[in-house]
A and B are shown apart, each in its own frame.
Chain A
Amino acid sequence: MKKFIPFAIFCFISLALFTGLSLNPGNIPSELINDPIPEFSLPIVGGESLGFSSTDVKAEEEVIIINFFASWCAPCYVEHPFLMELKNQGYKIYGISYKDKARDTNRFIKEQGNPYYKIAADEDGRVAINFGVYGVPETYVIQDGIIRYKHAGPIHEMDFEDKFLPIIKRMGE
């Protein structure tokens, strides 16, 4: 039997390599998963008054989504129609516009539609840093003020079904 050991080891390695092929090396996990969201308080776009703060998010009883976006980001345009659809399905999305001019953000929302429950502006990107944002768009799933999932890059319908839904369902139980 021991003559089969090399073959068995090889089978194991090729299985791992095969799984490795379907992994996306660009998929970077967040250190903050299962940690409370960072404290923040952001103004509305183009104004001084409060847009929303971490307290608002923590007060939410349902599972909510925080989406970082910018009018200068091409993948955000790709993602936008799907965010609209999520809104129609009844998801509550908080939007944070990242390092963007108020005028451009408003034009973006006007042209593309508004999928967000509330929008706030993170002009210097400080809050994004605390969230560990690599680049926009980036999306977080939050429950009771705790980060449950992070998605880098535009969300496709497939991503949502494969990655978001299982987590949201698990939390609903």
Chain B
Amino acid sequence: MIVESGHYALILACTLSLVQGIFPLYGALTGRGRLMRLSAPTAYGQFFFVSIAFGALMYAFIVSDFSVVNVAKNSHTLKPMLYKVSATWGNHEGSILLWALILALYGAAVAFFGRKLPKTLYVKVLSIQALIGLGFYLFLLLTSNPFERLYPFPMEGSGLNPLLQDPGLAFHPPLLYLGYVGLSVTFSFAVGALIEGRVDAAWARWVRPWTLLAWCFLTAGITLGSWWAYYELGWGGWWFWDPVENASFMPWLVATALLHSAIVVEKRDTLKAWTILLAIIAFSFSLLGTFIVRSGVLTSVHAFATDPERGVFILAFLFLVIGGSLLLFALRADKLQAGGLFAPISRESMLVINNLLLSVAAMVVMFGTLYPLLRDALTGDKITVGPPFFNLAFGFLMIPLLLVMGLGPSASWKRADLAGIVSRLGFVFATSLVAALAFFYMLGGGEIMAAVWLGLGLWLMAATFYEWADRVKLFKVNAMKRIRRQPRASVGMSFGHLGLAIAVLGMAGSSYWGTEQQKIMAYGDEINIGGYDVNFRDTNGIIGPNYTAVRGAFDIRKNGKIVATLEPEARLFSTPPMPTTEAAIYSTLMGDLFIVIGEANNKTYDQWAVRLYYKPLQTWLWGGVVVMVFGGFISLSDRRFRMGAAKKKIN
């Protein structure tokens, strides 16, 4: 009964989105206030009903109602409660329902927080938001109904992929979707502005917080996924340029560009058409990512052949939304008059460089991801594009980006004095160069690119600090007062850039100085890696809630003293039967010691295949991202972004 209510609520939400998408928009275009007033209540109602639908599905998972196909296929009574709950979105139908839920959540949030927006823009934004929602509701109801019943129903479900039974991954999709879908708001604002034919500083100020919010979630979501791959897959890597990873990375790159170009629109009233285009593209990449992941066109071998309906539906939807908005852009972009002019050396131009590099980077990632598909479609050749391509092409673009990132904040608007910047930051640059070479030498040399990345990380860190110190006049009287009075947005910027600098150092450390050993170890064997002595003590069999496992015990010594005991596990799940590895990691500020235990080498079970990695500065990568996201949220709390304050400023 509850399940049917969920299904019914979903149909109601679908109907409401149709109403919200058409009538208020018609009202706004023809000036009928009464129709326009439908916007907000339908937005709230839609959110209310999708919540019921989502709650109903979650309930079915919690009580293990196997008469629902989706539950029977993806759950199991013996699964821990957390994974019963997370199984709600751990499958195709459920994850699309989560998409729709978050979309409606954002819609309701815009309806609530955007009350002060000009009425016609407000209505248009909400209508577009609703029309996107309509697409997803129809997709759910027509091709991927999560509430489908099964009769006769099985006594037990077939279980959730054990790799996904992990706290990191339980929260990865919701965070990622909060990011993906958050970009829909920016998109709706962009299309709304195109219909209105007006983009101004106020528009940029309304759009920025939504973009920033989406960006924060997207950053956190991507990193959580990467972190999961790092410790759960046990390959010792954290980024594989896999199509699914790329699918989330492309919108991130464009959203980052958008974040910066919106500043130019807000402060200098220029780059409008470009910013609108970025807003459209950012969300287009979100949709494209969903298409890639959900249609199985790139990753999975058989997913698509079984259900052509879904792929065609998403593609048609993609074509309507993206194609429609890009066409609208082509027709209307000329209406957006460019405002302030700027010199070739200015903060604007630095931000333009940032935008170009980020957009080209996104294109490179898109090209690498789709090239095998294009090639197959055009010539029938089967190829794969691997990490060497991405590392080279993407890395090449990041070098100038990081260089400009250090300079940009120090440049003034309109026209900056290059000689002045160079004379101020030249010293910082030289220092970071020397420091990089010193570290390079200390870490034992290696590839020259390693020194380059190290240098870039240090440069960005030093330049960011220098700019901040200069801004607050750190060494003059009353510095504390000035530090406290800094606008939150600029504090956030400093943290954001600092976080990236830290993360770059972490990436360089773990990529270039990481070491790896694969050994058959017997009890009592000792291995030296990354300055640690690792002693294999023994193994134990253990029984978990829905798996059995072998747990190894490794004593870690540094300079003869035991600093930790690591217990990696090799698990064998029962439903579905599948082995997984649980790596054990000893993290310090200097690096991660990472141990994976594999299979027994002999019948007496006292020799085991063991993989050990030492990843210098790995924690810096995760820490850096935390600092970045922290910066994003600080910036989000800036007074300027609160609607009331914004309004006063415009008047």
Contact = CB atoms under 8 A, between A and B. Distances in A.
Interface in B555-610: none
A4 B334 CA distance: 11
Interface in A1-40: 3-4, 6-7, 10-11, 13-14, 16-26, 28-29
Contacts of B329: 3, 6-7
Given A7-B327, A26-B302, A26-B305, A17 B291 contact: yes
B28 to A, nearest CB: 24
Nearest to B312: A21
B380 interface: yes
B374 interface: yes
Contact of A20 (B331, B377, B381): B377
Given A13-B370, A21-B297, A3 B330 contact: yes
Nearest to B323: A10
B315 interface: yes
Nearest to B311: A21
Contacts of B326: 6-7, 10
Contacts of B284: 10
A29 B376 CA distance: 11
B435 interface: no
A28 B377 CA distance: 14
A3 B274 CA distance: 10
A3 B333 CA distance: 7
B301 A25 contact: yes
Interface in A33-57: none
B308 interface: yes
Contact of A17 (B330, B333, B373): B373
Given A6-B329, A14-B318, A29-B382, A23 B376 contact: yes
B193 to A, nearest CB: 15
B245 to A, nearest CB: 19
B253 interface: no
B281 A7 contact: no
Interface residues of B, number: 38
B308 A10 contact: no
Nearest to A25: B301
B330 A28 contact: no
Contacts of B439: none
B38 interface: no
Q: By DSSP majority rule, is chain B's interface helix, strand, loop, or mixed? A: helix
Nearest to A13: B370
Contacts of A7: 323, 326-327, 329-330
Contact of B377 (A6, A10, A19, A24): A19
Contacts of A10: 284, 322-323, 326
Interface in A47-78: none
Interface string B362-386: 0000000010011011101110000
Interface in B319-346: 319, 322-323, 326-327, 329-331, 333-334
Nearest to B273: A3
B16 to A, nearest CB: 29
A19 B326 CA distance: 21
Contacts of A21: 295, 297, 304, 308, 311-312, 315
What interface size band does chain A fall in? 20 to 34
Contacts of B377: 16, 19-20, 23
B109 interface: no
Contacts of A18: 315
B108 to A, nearest CB: 30
A161 to B, nearest CB: 18
B437 interface: no
The residue in B277, B291, B330, B331 that gathers the most chain A C-beta atoms within 10 A of its C-beta is B330
B144 to A, nearest CB: 16
A37 to B, nearest CB: 22
A86 B122 CA distance: 67
Contacts of A3: 273, 329-331, 333-334
Contacts of A20: 297-298, 373, 376-377
Nearest to B296: A25
A20 B370 CA distance: 10
A120 B374 CA distance: 41
A139 B391 CA distance: 40
A22 B376 CA distance: 11
Nearest to B277: A6
A11 B323 contact: yes
Given A10-B322, A14-B323, A28 B382 contact: yes
Nearest to B363: A9
A60 B541 CA distance: 63
A62 B318 CA distance: 49
Nearest to B371: A16
B301 A26 contact: yes
Contacts of A25: 300-302, 304
B297 A17 contact: yes
A23 B298 CA distance: 10
Nearest to B376: A23
Interface string A67-105: 000000000000000000000000000000000000000
Contacts of B382: 28-29
B380 A29 contact: yes
A152 to B, nearest CB: 13
A29 B379 CA distance: 12
24 contacts: A3-B273, A6-B330, A7-B327, A7-B329, A10-B284, A10-B322, A11-B323, A14-B319, A14-B322, A14-B323, A16-B373, A16-B374, A16-B377, A17-B370, A19-B377, A20-B297, A21-B297, A21-B304, A21-B311, A25-B300, A25-B302, A26-B302, A28-B382, A29-B380
Interface of B: 273, 277, 280-281, 284, 291, 295, 297-298, 300-302, 304-305, 308, 311-312, 315, 318-319, 322-323, 326-327, 329-331, 333-334, 370, 373-374, 376-378, 380-382
Given A21-B308, A29-B381, 14 more contacts: A3-B333, A4-B330, A6-B281, A6-B329, A7-B323, A7-B329, A11-B323, A17-B291, A17-B370, A17-B373, A19-B377, A21-B315, A22-B308, A29-B380
Closest 7 A/B residue pairs (Cβ):
A19-B377, A7-B326, A3-B330, A4-B330, A20-B373, A21-B311, A16-B374
